Structure 1
Amino acid sequence: MYGFMLAGAADRGVVAGTLSEAFRVPMHLVDVSPESEMECRNWDATVTCEYEVAQGDIGWLLTVYGAEEVTSQPGEEELAGILARRLDTPVLISWGTLPWIRKVVLPEGKPTFARVEESDDEGAGYRVYATETLAAEARGAVSAVLPALDARFRDLTVDDGGSELATVVGPTVQDLPAAPWYWRRRPARPPGRDVVCGVRNAPPT
Protein backbone atom coordinates (compact mmCIF):
# COMPACT_ATOMS: atom_id res chain seq x y z
CA MET A 1 0.00 0.00 0.00
CA TYR A 2 1.21 3.50 -0.84
CA GLY A 3 0.25 6.80 0.79
CA PHE A 4 0.79 10.10 -1.02
CA MET A 5 0.07 13.76 -0.44
CA LEU A 6 -0.27 15.92 -3.55
CA ALA A 7 0.57 19.60 -3.36
CA GLY A 8 -2.03 20.34 -6.02
CA ALA A 9 -5.30 18.99 -7.33
CA ALA A 10 -5.33 16.07 -9.75
CA ASP A 11 -7.39 14.68 -12.58
CA ARG A 12 -8.87 11.23 -11.96
CA GLY A 13 -8.27 10.17 -15.55
CA VAL A 14 -4.61 11.19 -15.47
CA VAL A 15 -4.12 9.40 -12.15
CA ALA A 16 -5.74 6.24 -13.55
CA GLY A 17 -3.59 6.33 -16.69
CA THR A 18 -0.43 6.90 -14.65
CA LEU A 19 -1.20 3.95 -12.37
CA SER A 20 -2.00 1.77 -15.38
CA GLU A 21 1.45 2.47 -16.82
CA ALA A 22 3.33 2.27 -13.52
CA PHE A 23 1.80 -1.09 -12.50
CA ARG A 24 1.64 -2.35 -16.09
CA VAL A 25 -2.02 -3.31 -15.97
CA PRO A 26 -4.77 -2.39 -18.46
CA MET A 27 -6.97 0.62 -17.69
CA HIS A 28 -10.04 -1.50 -17.03
CA LEU A 29 -8.25 -3.04 -14.05
CA VAL A 30 -7.57 0.35 -12.41
CA ASP A 31 -10.06 2.08 -10.13
CA VAL A 32 -9.71 5.66 -8.88
CA SER A 33 -12.55 6.64 -6.56
CA PRO A 34 -13.27 9.04 -3.71
CA GLU A 35 -12.58 7.55 -0.30
CA SER A 36 -16.28 7.79 0.57
CA GLU A 37 -17.49 6.08 -2.63
CA MET A 38 -18.71 2.53 -2.07
CA GLU A 39 -21.29 1.83 -4.78
CA CYS A 40 -19.76 2.90 -8.07
CA ARG A 41 -16.30 1.41 -7.79
CA ASN A 42 -14.71 -1.09 -10.12
CA TRP A 43 -14.57 -4.06 -7.76
CA ASP A 44 -12.69 -6.12 -10.36
CA ALA A 45 -9.74 -3.71 -10.34
CA THR A 46 -6.35 -5.05 -9.31
CA VAL A 47 -4.94 -1.54 -8.77
CA THR A 48 -7.06 0.79 -6.67
CA CYS A 49 -6.63 4.40 -5.64
CA GLU A 50 -8.75 6.11 -3.02
CA TYR A 51 -8.49 9.89 -2.91
CA GLU A 52 -9.60 12.58 -0.52
CA VAL A 53 -9.69 16.27 -1.37
CA ALA A 54 -7.68 18.11 1.28
CA GLN A 55 -7.43 21.73 2.30
CA GLY A 56 -4.60 24.13 2.91
CA ASP A 57 -1.24 23.43 1.26
CA ILE A 58 -2.21 19.86 0.29
CA GLY A 59 -4.60 19.25 -2.58
CA TRP A 60 -5.24 15.51 -2.58
CA LEU A 61 -4.52 12.57 -0.32
CA LEU A 62 -4.03 9.28 -2.18
CA THR A 63 -4.01 5.69 -0.97
CA VAL A 64 -2.87 3.28 -3.68
CA TYR A 65 -2.96 -0.49 -3.51
CA GLY A 66 -1.72 -3.12 -5.95
CA ALA A 67 -3.13 -6.62 -5.53
CA GLU A 68 -0.79 -9.56 -5.05
CA GLU A 69 -1.34 -10.77 -8.60
CA VAL A 70 0.10 -7.52 -9.99
CA THR A 71 3.69 -8.48 -10.77
CA SER A 72 4.99 -4.95 -11.36
CA GLN A 73 5.02 -3.17 -8.00
CA PRO A 74 7.09 0.04 -8.13
CA GLY A 75 8.78 1.38 -5.02
CA GLU A 76 7.07 4.18 -3.13
CA GLU A 77 9.53 6.88 -4.14
CA GLU A 78 9.60 5.60 -7.72
CA LEU A 79 5.80 5.79 -7.97
CA ALA A 80 5.79 9.21 -6.31
CA GLY A 81 8.22 10.43 -8.96
CA ILE A 82 6.04 9.10 -11.78
CA LEU A 83 2.97 10.80 -10.31
CA ALA A 84 4.85 14.06 -9.74
CA ARG A 85 5.97 14.23 -13.36
CA ARG A 86 2.63 13.24 -14.87
CA LEU A 87 0.56 15.49 -12.62
CA ASP A 88 3.18 18.27 -12.60
CA THR A 89 2.92 18.73 -8.84
CA PRO A 90 5.09 17.85 -5.84
CA VAL A 91 4.23 14.54 -4.17
CA LEU A 92 4.96 14.02 -0.49
CA ILE A 93 5.71 10.62 1.01
CA SER A 94 6.48 9.38 4.52
CA TRP A 95 10.09 9.40 5.67
CA GLY A 96 11.74 8.04 8.78
CA THR A 97 9.91 7.59 12.05
CA LEU A 98 8.62 11.14 12.49
CA PRO A 99 5.11 11.40 11.02
CA TRP A 100 5.29 15.15 10.46
CA ILE A 101 8.41 14.96 8.27
CA ARG A 102 7.78 14.14 4.63
CA LYS A 103 10.04 13.57 1.69
CA VAL A 104 9.00 15.78 -1.20
CA VAL A 105 9.41 14.36 -4.70
CA LEU A 106 9.42 17.20 -7.21
CA PRO A 107 8.32 17.03 -10.87
CA GLU A 108 11.86 17.84 -11.99
CA GLY A 109 13.13 14.88 -9.98
CA LYS A 110 15.24 16.37 -7.19
CA PRO A 111 13.81 15.38 -3.78
CA THR A 112 13.78 17.53 -0.66
CA PHE A 113 12.12 17.43 2.77
CA ALA A 114 9.32 19.32 4.48
CA ARG A 115 7.49 19.51 7.76
CA VAL A 116 3.75 18.93 7.38
CA GLU A 117 1.21 19.70 10.06
CA GLU A 118 -2.56 19.39 10.11
CA SER A 119 -4.11 22.47 11.63
CA ASP A 120 -6.62 22.21 14.46
CA ASP A 121 -8.52 25.16 13.03
CA GLU A 122 -11.65 24.16 11.12
CA GLY A 123 -11.16 24.38 7.37
CA ALA A 124 -7.46 25.25 7.63
CA GLY A 125 -6.26 21.83 6.47
CA TYR A 126 -2.57 21.05 6.11
CA ARG A 127 0.38 23.39 6.33
CA VAL A 128 3.72 22.66 4.65
CA TYR A 129 6.69 24.46 6.14
CA ALA A 130 9.97 25.48 4.51
CA THR A 131 12.22 22.62 3.56
CA GLU A 132 15.58 24.41 3.73
CA THR A 133 15.17 25.51 7.35
CA LEU A 134 14.04 22.01 8.31
CA ALA A 135 17.20 20.52 6.84
CA ALA A 136 19.30 23.04 8.77
CA GLU A 137 17.47 22.22 12.00
CA ALA A 138 18.07 18.51 11.47
CA ARG A 139 21.77 19.02 10.86
CA GLY A 140 21.97 21.22 13.94
CA ALA A 141 20.31 18.59 16.13
CA VAL A 142 22.81 15.95 15.02
CA SER A 143 25.78 18.28 15.51
CA ALA A 144 24.60 19.10 19.03
CA VAL A 145 24.84 15.51 20.28
CA LEU A 146 28.10 14.51 18.58
CA PRO A 147 30.45 15.99 21.23
CA ALA A 148 28.69 14.04 24.00
CA LEU A 149 28.89 10.83 21.97
CA ASP A 150 32.58 11.38 21.28
CA ALA A 151 33.27 12.01 24.97
CA ARG A 152 31.42 8.85 26.00
CA PHE A 153 33.36 6.81 23.44
CA ARG A 154 36.66 8.16 24.78
CA ASP A 155 35.62 7.28 28.34
CA LEU A 156 35.05 3.62 27.39
CA THR A 157 38.14 3.16 25.20
CA VAL A 158 41.90 3.53 25.29
CA ASP A 159 44.31 4.60 22.56
CA ASP A 160 46.40 1.61 21.38
CA GLY A 161 47.52 3.17 18.11
CA GLY A 162 45.05 0.98 16.23
CA SER A 163 46.99 -2.26 16.69
CA GLU A 164 43.99 -4.30 17.89
CA LEU A 165 41.68 -3.05 15.15
CA ALA A 166 44.35 -3.76 12.54
CA THR A 167 44.29 -7.45 13.47
CA VAL A 168 40.58 -7.56 12.65
CA VAL A 169 39.95 -5.31 9.66
CA GLY A 170 43.27 -5.66 7.86
CA PRO A 171 45.07 -2.30 7.55
CA THR A 172 48.55 -2.17 8.98
CA VAL A 173 49.33 -0.09 12.02
CA GLN A 174 51.39 2.20 9.79
CA ASP A 175 48.25 3.04 7.79
CA LEU A 176 46.17 4.01 10.81
CA PRO A 177 47.72 7.37 11.81
CA ALA A 178 46.00 8.90 8.79
CA ALA A 179 42.65 7.34 9.74
CA PRO A 180 40.04 9.05 11.99
CA TRP A 181 40.96 9.06 15.68
CA TYR A 182 38.34 6.50 16.66
CA TRP A 183 40.07 3.85 14.51
CA ARG A 184 43.02 3.99 16.88
CA ARG A 185 41.11 3.11 20.05
CA ARG A 186 39.98 -0.17 21.60
CA PRO A 187 37.57 -0.96 24.46
CA ALA A 188 39.12 -0.37 27.86
CA ARG A 189 37.90 -3.83 28.94
CA PRO A 190 37.39 -5.89 25.75
CA PRO A 191 34.74 -8.62 26.03
CA GLY A 192 36.23 -11.92 27.28
CA ARG A 193 39.53 -10.44 28.47
CA ASP A 194 38.57 -11.06 32.10
CA VAL A 195 37.26 -14.59 31.48
CA VAL A 196 39.54 -17.63 31.77
CA CYS A 197 38.15 -21.08 30.97
CA GLY A 198 34.62 -19.83 31.34
CA VAL A 199 35.21 -18.35 34.83
CA ARG A 200 35.13 -14.60 35.15
CA ASN A 201 38.10 -13.22 37.00
CA ALA A 202 37.49 -11.01 39.97
CA PRO A 203 38.17 -7.38 39.23
CA PRO A 204 41.51 -6.10 40.46
CA THR A 205 41.51 -4.54 43.90
Structure 2
Amino acid sequence: MTYNLLTVEPLTLDAVTAALAQCLHVGVQEVDVADEDTDQDLRNWDALVLCEMVSVLGDVSTSLDIYVHESVQPRPTERELASAFARSAGALILFPAEEALPSAYWLATESGLVTRARLYENDDEEPCYTIDRVEAPIDRLPHVTVARIPEVVRELKVVTPLGDVFAAHLHRMYPEDTDTPGTPFWTARSSLIAWEKLVRQMEAAWAPSGWYPADLYMERLSARDKLEQLRNQFPPNVTVLLQNALEPLDDLFADLTVDDTDGLLGKEPLPGKDVASAHGWWWDRRPEPLPW
Protein backbone atom coordinates (compact mmCIF):
# COMPACT_ATOMS: atom_id res chain seq x y z
CA MET A 1 0.00 0.00 0.00
CA THR A 2 1.23 3.49 -0.80
CA TYR A 3 0.71 6.77 1.00
CA ASN A 4 1.41 10.34 -0.07
CA LEU A 5 2.03 12.89 2.66
CA LEU A 6 3.33 16.45 2.71
CA THR A 7 4.97 17.99 5.76
CA VAL A 8 4.81 21.69 6.55
CA GLU A 9 7.91 21.60 8.73
CA PRO A 10 11.23 20.25 7.44
CA LEU A 11 12.05 16.86 8.96
CA THR A 12 15.28 14.87 9.10
CA LEU A 13 15.67 11.36 7.78
CA ASP A 14 15.93 10.05 11.31
CA ALA A 15 12.77 11.87 12.40
CA VAL A 16 10.77 10.43 9.51
CA THR A 17 12.18 6.97 10.14
CA ALA A 18 11.26 7.06 13.82
CA ALA A 19 7.77 8.40 13.14
CA LEU A 20 7.00 5.77 10.51
CA ALA A 21 8.29 2.98 12.71
CA GLN A 22 6.09 4.13 15.58
CA CYS A 23 2.98 4.67 13.43
CA LEU A 24 3.25 1.36 11.60
CA HIS A 25 4.41 -0.67 14.62
CA VAL A 26 7.58 -1.98 13.02
CA GLY A 27 11.21 -1.83 14.08
CA VAL A 28 13.30 1.14 13.02
CA GLN A 29 15.55 -1.27 11.13
CA GLU A 30 12.54 -2.23 8.98
CA VAL A 31 12.09 1.34 7.72
CA ASP A 32 14.23 2.71 4.91
CA VAL A 33 13.93 6.46 4.26
CA ALA A 34 15.91 8.18 1.54
CA ASP A 35 16.19 11.72 0.21
CA GLU A 36 17.85 13.24 -2.85
CA ASP A 37 21.33 12.82 -1.32
CA THR A 38 20.98 9.18 -0.30
CA ASP A 39 23.23 6.63 -2.00
CA GLN A 40 20.74 4.23 -3.56
CA ASP A 41 23.20 1.35 -3.40
CA LEU A 42 23.20 1.57 0.40
CA ARG A 43 19.46 1.31 0.80
CA ASN A 44 17.65 -1.60 2.42
CA TRP A 45 15.31 -2.50 -0.43
CA ASP A 46 13.94 -5.43 1.58
CA ALA A 47 12.64 -3.16 4.34
CA LEU A 48 8.95 -3.43 5.22
CA VAL A 49 8.57 0.33 4.81
CA LEU A 50 10.20 2.33 2.02
CA CYS A 51 9.94 6.11 1.90
CA GLU A 52 11.14 8.64 -0.65
CA MET A 53 11.65 12.15 0.75
CA VAL A 54 11.71 15.07 -1.68
CA SER A 55 12.24 18.67 -0.62
CA VAL A 56 9.67 21.06 -2.09
CA LEU A 57 9.12 24.80 -2.09
CA GLY A 58 6.46 27.03 -0.59
CA ASP A 59 4.17 26.42 2.36
CA VAL A 60 5.20 22.77 2.58
CA SER A 61 8.74 21.47 3.03
CA THR A 62 8.79 17.80 2.17
CA SER A 63 6.89 15.30 0.05
CA LEU A 64 6.83 11.74 1.38
CA ASP A 65 6.02 8.80 -0.88
CA ILE A 66 5.62 5.81 1.40
CA TYR A 67 5.31 2.15 0.47
CA VAL A 68 4.21 -0.34 3.13
CA HIS A 69 4.63 -4.05 2.50
CA GLU A 70 1.45 -6.12 2.64
CA SER A 71 2.86 -8.15 5.53
CA VAL A 72 2.57 -5.08 7.79
CA GLN A 73 -0.73 -5.50 9.59
CA PRO A 74 -2.91 -3.72 10.33
CA ARG A 75 -2.26 -1.12 7.66
CA PRO A 76 -3.83 2.24 8.48
CA THR A 77 -5.82 4.39 6.11
CA GLU A 78 -4.06 7.45 4.76
CA ARG A 79 -6.00 9.61 7.21
CA GLU A 80 -5.00 7.39 10.14
CA LEU A 81 -1.35 7.38 9.12
CA ALA A 82 -1.27 11.15 8.59
CA SER A 83 -2.83 11.78 12.02
CA ALA A 84 -0.49 9.37 13.76
CA PHE A 85 2.53 10.76 11.89
CA ALA A 86 1.58 14.33 12.84
CA ARG A 87 1.43 13.35 16.52
CA SER A 88 4.66 11.35 16.43
CA ALA A 89 6.71 13.93 14.48
CA GLY A 90 5.07 17.00 16.03
CA ALA A 91 4.40 18.32 12.54
CA LEU A 92 1.58 19.53 10.33
CA ILE A 93 0.79 16.91 7.69
CA LEU A 94 -1.23 17.28 4.51
CA PHE A 95 -2.70 14.35 2.59
CA PRO A 96 -4.92 14.21 -0.51
CA ALA A 97 -8.68 14.24 -0.11
CA GLU A 98 -10.95 11.74 -1.84
CA GLU A 99 -12.42 14.29 -4.24
CA ALA A 100 -11.16 14.70 -7.80
CA LEU A 101 -10.13 18.33 -7.27
CA PRO A 102 -6.32 18.56 -7.35
CA SER A 103 -6.45 21.27 -4.67
CA ALA A 104 -8.48 19.17 -2.22
CA TYR A 105 -6.43 18.12 0.82
CA TRP A 106 -6.81 17.35 4.49
CA LEU A 107 -4.46 18.77 7.12
CA ALA A 108 -3.66 16.87 10.31
CA THR A 109 -2.12 18.46 13.40
CA GLU A 110 -0.24 16.92 16.30
CA SER A 111 -3.20 17.70 18.59
CA GLY A 112 -5.45 15.35 16.62
CA LEU A 113 -7.31 17.97 14.57
CA VAL A 114 -8.00 17.03 10.95
CA THR A 115 -9.43 19.81 8.79
CA ARG A 116 -9.99 20.55 5.14
CA ALA A 117 -7.27 22.46 3.32
CA ARG A 118 -6.91 23.91 -0.16
CA LEU A 119 -3.44 23.42 -1.61
CA TYR A 120 -2.28 24.83 -4.93
CA GLU A 121 0.77 23.77 -6.92
CA ASN A 122 2.12 26.08 -9.61
CA ASP A 123 3.38 24.96 -13.02
CA ASP A 124 7.05 25.87 -12.52
CA GLU A 125 9.73 23.33 -13.32
CA GLU A 126 10.33 23.15 -9.58
CA PRO A 127 6.79 23.43 -8.21
CA CYS A 128 5.93 25.75 -5.35
CA TYR A 129 3.05 24.85 -3.04
CA THR A 130 0.62 27.32 -1.47
CA ILE A 131 -1.78 26.50 1.32
CA ASP A 132 -4.56 28.83 0.23
CA ARG A 133 -7.25 28.07 2.80
CA VAL A 134 -8.05 25.90 5.81
CA GLU A 135 -11.42 25.33 7.44
CA ALA A 136 -10.11 25.59 11.01
CA PRO A 137 -7.53 28.01 12.45
CA ILE A 138 -4.00 26.61 12.68
CA ASP A 139 -1.65 28.54 14.98
CA ARG A 140 1.39 27.67 12.89
CA LEU A 141 -0.27 28.92 9.73
CA PRO A 142 -1.32 32.44 10.75
CA HIS A 143 -1.06 33.74 7.18
CA VAL A 144 -3.55 31.23 5.77
CA THR A 145 -7.18 32.25 5.30
CA VAL A 146 -9.64 30.39 7.53
CA ALA A 147 -12.88 29.80 5.62
CA ARG A 148 -15.08 27.06 4.27
CA ILE A 149 -14.15 25.40 0.98
CA PRO A 150 -17.43 25.11 -0.96
CA GLU A 151 -16.16 23.35 -4.08
CA VAL A 152 -15.27 20.30 -2.01
CA VAL A 153 -18.87 19.81 -0.91
CA ARG A 154 -19.98 19.91 -4.54
CA GLU A 155 -17.46 17.17 -5.43
CA LEU A 156 -18.24 14.83 -2.53
CA LYS A 157 -18.90 11.27 -3.57
CA VAL A 158 -22.48 10.60 -2.48
CA VAL A 159 -24.14 7.22 -2.93
CA THR A 160 -27.33 7.58 -5.01
CA PRO A 161 -28.88 4.10 -5.34
CA LEU A 162 -32.30 5.28 -6.58
CA GLY A 163 -30.79 7.62 -9.15
CA ASP A 164 -28.41 4.90 -10.33
CA VAL A 165 -31.23 2.39 -10.84
CA PHE A 166 -33.29 4.96 -12.73
CA ALA A 167 -30.30 5.87 -14.91
CA ALA A 168 -29.62 2.20 -15.67
CA HIS A 169 -33.23 1.61 -16.74
CA LEU A 170 -33.19 4.71 -18.93
CA HIS A 171 -29.94 3.68 -20.55
CA ARG A 172 -31.28 0.24 -21.40
CA MET A 173 -34.44 1.67 -22.97
CA TYR A 174 -33.12 4.87 -24.56
CA PRO A 175 -29.32 4.68 -24.61
CA GLU A 176 -28.64 7.46 -27.10
CA ASP A 177 -31.02 10.00 -25.60
CA THR A 178 -29.92 9.19 -22.05
CA ASP A 179 -26.26 9.84 -22.88
CA THR A 180 -26.85 13.01 -24.93
CA PRO A 181 -26.49 16.18 -22.82
CA GLY A 182 -29.53 18.43 -22.94
CA THR A 183 -32.11 15.80 -23.83
CA PRO A 184 -35.08 15.28 -21.45
CA PHE A 185 -33.82 11.81 -20.49
CA TRP A 186 -30.31 13.10 -19.77
CA THR A 187 -31.74 16.02 -17.77
CA ALA A 188 -34.01 13.71 -15.78
CA ARG A 189 -31.16 11.36 -14.93
CA SER A 190 -28.85 14.23 -13.87
CA SER A 191 -31.57 16.05 -11.94
CA LEU A 192 -32.67 12.95 -10.04
CA ILE A 193 -29.11 12.20 -8.97
CA ALA A 194 -28.65 15.83 -7.88
CA TRP A 195 -31.87 15.67 -5.84
CA GLU A 196 -30.87 12.38 -4.23
CA LYS A 197 -27.44 13.78 -3.34
CA LEU A 198 -29.09 16.62 -1.44
CA VAL A 199 -31.45 14.31 0.43
CA ARG A 200 -28.72 11.77 1.28
CA GLN A 201 -26.36 14.46 2.56
CA MET A 202 -29.16 15.97 4.61
CA GLU A 203 -29.91 12.50 6.01
CA ALA A 204 -26.23 12.21 7.02
CA ALA A 205 -26.39 15.55 8.85
CA TRP A 206 -24.29 17.08 6.07
CA ALA A 207 -21.37 14.72 6.73
CA PRO A 208 -18.47 14.69 6.18
CA SER A 209 -18.16 18.46 5.79
CA GLY A 210 -20.80 19.36 8.38
CA TRP A 211 -22.25 22.16 6.25
CA TYR A 212 -23.74 22.84 2.83
CA PRO A 213 -23.31 25.80 0.45
CA ALA A 214 -26.48 27.84 -0.06
CA ASP A 215 -26.00 28.06 -3.84
CA LEU A 216 -25.65 24.28 -4.13
CA TYR A 217 -28.81 23.83 -2.02
CA MET A 218 -30.69 26.12 -4.41
CA GLU A 219 -29.34 24.26 -7.44
CA ARG A 220 -30.60 20.97 -6.14
CA LEU A 221 -34.03 22.32 -5.28
CA SER A 222 -34.13 23.62 -8.85
CA ALA A 223 -33.17 20.14 -10.06
CA ARG A 224 -36.30 18.84 -8.31
CA ASP A 225 -38.32 21.50 -10.14
CA LYS A 226 -36.94 20.26 -13.46
CA LEU A 227 -38.12 16.74 -12.69
CA GLU A 228 -41.63 18.04 -12.09
CA GLN A 229 -41.57 19.94 -15.37
CA LEU A 230 -40.37 16.88 -17.29
CA ARG A 231 -43.01 14.42 -16.10
CA ASN A 232 -45.41 15.06 -18.97
CA GLN A 233 -42.68 14.68 -21.60
CA PHE A 234 -42.01 11.02 -20.89
CA PRO A 235 -43.74 7.83 -21.99
CA PRO A 236 -45.76 6.14 -19.21
CA ASN A 237 -43.08 3.54 -18.39
CA VAL A 238 -40.48 6.25 -17.71
CA THR A 239 -42.97 8.32 -15.72
CA VAL A 240 -43.61 5.33 -13.45
CA LEU A 241 -39.90 4.72 -12.98
CA LEU A 242 -39.33 8.36 -12.10
CA GLN A 243 -42.23 8.41 -9.65
CA ASN A 244 -40.97 5.26 -7.94
CA ALA A 245 -37.60 6.94 -7.39
CA LEU A 246 -39.02 10.29 -6.32
CA GLU A 247 -41.54 9.10 -3.75
CA PRO A 248 -39.08 7.82 -1.12
CA LEU A 249 -36.75 10.78 -1.68
CA ASP A 250 -39.55 13.31 -1.36
CA ASP A 251 -40.83 11.58 1.78
CA LEU A 252 -37.37 11.60 3.31
CA PHE A 253 -36.88 15.26 2.43
CA ALA A 254 -40.19 16.09 4.10
CA ASP A 255 -39.21 14.14 7.22
CA LEU A 256 -35.84 15.90 7.45
CA THR A 257 -37.18 19.44 7.03
CA VAL A 258 -39.64 21.79 8.74
CA ASP A 259 -42.28 24.11 7.34
CA ASP A 260 -40.71 27.42 6.44
CA THR A 261 -43.66 29.21 8.04
CA ASP A 262 -41.56 32.21 9.01
CA GLY A 263 -40.27 32.54 5.45
CA LEU A 264 -36.65 32.24 6.52
CA LEU A 265 -35.56 30.95 3.10
CA GLY A 266 -37.44 33.77 1.42
CA LYS A 267 -35.80 36.39 3.62
CA GLU A 268 -32.27 35.25 2.87
CA PRO A 269 -30.49 36.56 -0.25
CA LEU A 270 -29.96 33.04 -1.54
CA PRO A 271 -27.88 32.69 -4.70
CA GLY A 272 -29.56 31.03 -7.64
CA LYS A 273 -33.17 31.46 -6.49
CA ASP A 274 -35.38 32.81 -9.27
CA VAL A 275 -38.35 34.36 -7.51
CA ALA A 276 -40.22 34.66 -10.82
CA SER A 277 -40.21 30.92 -11.48
CA ALA A 278 -42.79 28.43 -10.31
CA HIS A 279 -41.46 26.22 -7.55
CA GLY A 280 -42.66 23.02 -5.91
CA TRP A 281 -43.58 22.43 -2.26
CA TRP A 282 -39.94 21.61 -1.44
CA TRP A 283 -39.21 25.35 -1.51
CA ASP A 284 -41.67 25.83 1.37
CA ARG A 285 -39.67 23.62 3.71
CA ARG A 286 -36.17 24.04 5.08
CA PRO A 287 -33.52 22.21 7.09
CA GLU A 288 -33.37 23.12 10.77
CA PRO A 289 -30.91 24.63 11.36
CA LEU A 290 -29.87 25.97 8.00
CA PRO A 291 -26.59 24.25 7.02
CA TRP A 292 -24.71 27.28 5.65
* TM-score w.r.t. length of structure 2: 0.51
C-alpha spacing 1:129/1:141, structure 2 compared with 1 (3 Å): farther
Rounded to whole Å, the distance in 2 between the matches of 1:86 and 1:15 is 9
Rounded to whole Å, the distance in 1 between the matches of 2:45 and 2:86 is 27
Among 102, 106, 109, the alignment partner of 1:106 is 109
2:20 equivalent in structure 1 = 19
Among 126, 132, 137, the alignment partner of 2:150 is 137
User: Shift in Å at residue 154 of structure 1?
Assistant: 3.3
2:161 equivalent in structure 1 = none
C-alpha spacing 1:141/1:179, structure 2 compared with 1 (3 Å): closer
Rounded to whole Å, the distance in 2 between the matches of 1:47 and 1:177 is 48
1:81 equivalent in structure 2 = 83
Rounded to whole Å, the distance in 1 between the matches of 2:111 and 2:8 is 14
2:119 equivalent in structure 1 = 116
User: SS in structure 2 opposite 1:142?
Assistant: helix
Is 1:179 equivalent to 2:255 in the alignment?
A: yes
Rounded to whole Å, the distance in 2 between the matches of 1:177 and 1:62 is 44
User: SS in structure 2 opposite 1:39?
Assistant: helix
Among 41, 60, 66, the alignment partner of 2:62 is 60
Give 1 or 2: higher helix fraction: 2
Q: Say if 1:14 and 1:86, in contact at 8 Å, map to a contact too.
A: no
Letter in 2 for 1:81: S
C-alpha spacing 1:7/1:140, structure 2 compared with 1 (3 Å): farther
Rounded to whole Å, the distance in 2 between the matches of 1:155 and 1:22 is 55
Is 1:128 equivalent to 2:131 in the alignment?
A: yes
Letter in 2 for 1:56: G
C-alpha spacing 1:141/1:4, structure 2 compared with 1 (3 Å): farther
Rounded to whole Å, the distance in 1 between the matches of 2:106 and 2:124 is 25
Per-residue Cα deviation, 1:31-68 (whole angstroms, up to 9, x for no partner)? 01115742221122111111101111011100111112
Q: Say if 1:2 and 1:76, in contact at 8 Å, map to a contact too.
A: yes
Rounded to whole Å, the distance in 1 between the matches of 2:226 and 2:82 is 41
How many residue pairs were aligned? 170
User: SS in structure 1 opposite 2:123?
Assistant: coil
Give 1 or 2: higher strand fraction: 1
Is 1:147 equivalent to 2:221 in the alignment?
A: yes
User: SS in structure 2 opposite 1:71?
Assistant: coil
Aligned sequence identity (%): 27
User: Shift in Å at residue 153 of structure 1?
Assistant: 3.6
C-alpha spacing 1:179/1:140, structure 2 compared with 1 (3 Å): closer
Structure 1: runs of 5 or more not aligned: 159-163, 170-174, 186-205
Greater relative contact order (CA < 8 Å, ≥ 6 in sequence): 1
Rounded to whole Å, the distance in 1 between the matches of 2:8 and 2:253 is 51
Per-residue Cα deviation, 1:86-131 (whole angstroms, up to 9, x for no partner)? 2222211111111211111122112111221112356671111022
Rounded to whole Å, the distance in 1 between the matches of 2:42 and 2:118 is 36
Letter in 1 for 2:51: C
Q: Which runs of 4+ in 1 moved over 6 A?
A: 175-178
* TM-score w.r.t. length of structure 1: 0.70
1:31 equivalent in structure 2 = 32
CA RMSD of the aligned region, Å? 3.1
